[in-house]
Amino acid sequence: MSWQYDVMVGLILLFIFLTPREWFRDQPRPSSIVMVGSPERGISEFWIEPDQLESVAEADRSAKASALLNARFKRHSLVRLEPIFDSEQEIRGYLAYTKP
């Protein structure tokens, strides 16, 4: 082994561990469907990001949400799907209520 190799490995390790994540836009992204809680006994509440249902017609949103939930969290039956709006009446997400 040569000292040049050691220097190069050291530089690579410094680059890996000291480079800020922002340089590569490598930020962790939250999951698009998250279990929020259980408001009632036997009911589960899920947050669904708006981009998961934005291209789906309003009449078909419940079916699509149910399919997304069952693909991610097995054996859930959708009871209700509520859009969540911000102060400018834009959809910020959906709350899906399910039962097992």
**Domain architecture of the chain: domains with CATH:** 27-99 (3.30.200)
> Which pLDDT value is given to residue 100?
78
- Compute CA distances 45 → 8, 9, 16, 27, 66, whole Å: 52, 49, 40, 26, 12
Residues 14-44 have pLDDT tens digits of: 998 998 877 776 656 666 888 887 777 888 8
Mean of per-residue pLDDT scores for the chain: 85
Q: Does residue 81 carry a pLDDT above 70?
A: yes
Mean pLDDT, residues 2-16 taken together? 93
> Which pLDDT value is given to residue 30?
62
DSSP string, 66-90: HHHHHHHSSS-EEEEEEEEE-TTS-
> Which pLDDT value is given to residue 12?
94
